[in-house]
A and B are shown apart, each in its own frame.
Chain A
């Protein structure tokens, strides 16, 4: 069961990354696209137990760091998504979260992950970007992620719940 869950999670991450770089640039706003990878990680954090979600956050972030056309310092998304998964996993109680809780978690996780990524960029001086540009990126990214939540999160959470024997359905 554990192996199946990993297969499902990694498959979701791969599909998310490919859609993120190949499909969404056609509808992007100033180059800012929804972070589907983050949505997969949050769905896992809200559904299955926290250690799995944390490791998935790390793996998804690392894949996002390495898959073309990424060229930033590797490990930055891994750090951001691990922390986002940790925060999202803390929100979850042992029953199914309400719709409002899901949207709130996605918004918070998106804000934290994109900001963390931007902050590591500032620390490493990876690309020099203006604060106004960073704020625009963070806020638009949150709006994108929240907009896609109703379409992406429910099916993903059902998928994770089905492969997870630990899920305590009320």
Chain B
């Protein structure tokens, strides 16, 4: 402050300054930072898919990806500790359970043969069958978004170097996991199908009716998805399997199993059938996943081809 100006005013200013520097931040800084936050929010919301925040996100991802992968590698040995304390009895019980579920599944597969054939015929008619010859890039989940952030996303340790790109389908050995949102060189961010913002085109296995599967926003093992059928006259059957409807341009590959129908409601207001789908994938214990890439694409790791061979 200079020597000019009103004396009284000068004193008041310095007095206020001393008070503020003692235990509170200057209001101007607070206002500036809040406005900066609001600006970032506005930029990101109005920009949509091509928002100016996206390159920054990618740059931060390039920096954090390797750190998250390293942290996960350090943590992984400890997460396996509970398994050391499993007794022979536990393992025998597990073998019995698995045998039972195996027999049940075999029965289901035999029954599902008819539906499978129809699905294959249908896929043969549309040229989508060509897309089924895709390869899988194996990856591990290295970071999980927190529920506080309200988005159900995970980071996997395969990125553009491994041949992974945006909108690719992510599966594990149980069924559909989600799709790739964005990639960095060594990692990729995956939107899980349980995210409330996620919508997957689904097809009911027995009736071939199409609908939309949305997430319910829950990570627990009893998480469920919502299926809304387009044709309101058809009622999906209990225990029916839902697979992806898929397209050659859309993000989800066709014919990937999503889950089974556990409950059916008919919604009068929206004139459509709503069914609750229990996903095949246990999202609370997600670890090894595969990203479906076009067959023969370049990758920095072994790729599992459609016929089961490693390349």
Interface residues of A (CB under 8 A from B): 14, 17-26, 28, 30-33, 35, 49-51, 53-55, 57-58, 61-79, 82-83, 85-86, 89-90, 92-94, 114, 117-118, 120-121, 124, 126-129, 133, 137, 141
Contact = CB atoms under 8 A, between A and B. Distances in A.
A124 B151 CA distance: 14
Nearest to B142: A22
Nearest to B23: A92
B217 to A, nearest CB: 6
B71 A22 contact: yes
A33 B143 contact: no
Contacts of A75: 37-44
A129 B218 CA distance: 10
A141 B149 CA distance: 11
Contacts of B145: 21, 69-71
Contacts of B72: 22
Contact of B44 (A24, A69, A73): A73
B34 A51 contact: no
Interface string B34-57: 101111111111000000010011
B108 interface: no
B68 A22 contact: yes
23 contacts: A14-B64, A17-B64, A20-B146, A21-B68, A21-B144, A22-B68, A26-B75, A35-B146, A54-B25, A55-B29, A62-B40, A68-B143, A69-B144, A69-B153, A69-B190, A71-B181, A75-B41, A79-B34, A86-B25, A120-B41, A124-B41, A129-B196, A129-B217
Contacts, number: 192
B68 A90 contact: no
Contact of B217 (A55, A77, A78, A127): A127
A30 B219 contact: yes
B155 interface: yes
A45 to B, nearest CB: 9
Q: How large is the interface on B (under 10, 10 to 19, 20 to 34, 35 or more residues)?
A: 35 or more
A55 B41 contact: no
A18 B64 contact: yes
B23 A66 contact: no
A22 B25 contact: no
Residue in B26, B36, B40, B148 with the greatest tally of chain A CB atoms within 10 Å = B148
A17 to B, nearest CB: 7
A117 B34 contact: no
Contact of A58 (B33, B67, B146): B33
Grouping DSSP codes into helix (H, G, I), strand (E, B) and loop, the B interface class, with mixed when no group exceeds half, is helix
A35 B148 contact: yes
Interface string B126-167: 000000000000000011111111111111000000000000
Given A76-B41, A86-B30, A33 B68 contact: no
Interface string B2-37: 000000000000000000011111100110011011
B22 A78 contact: no
Contacts of B45: 73, 124
B233 interface: no
Given A54-B25, A75-B44, A79-B38, A19 B151 contact: no
Given A22-B142, A30-B147, A69-B154, 10 more contacts: A14-B67, A21-B144, A31-B146, A32-B147, A33-B147, A66-B56, A70-B151, A74-B40, A76-B41, A89-B23
Given A21-B143, A66-B53, A68-B61, A79 B190 contact: no
Given A30-B220, A127-B196, A137-B147, A19 B153 contact: no
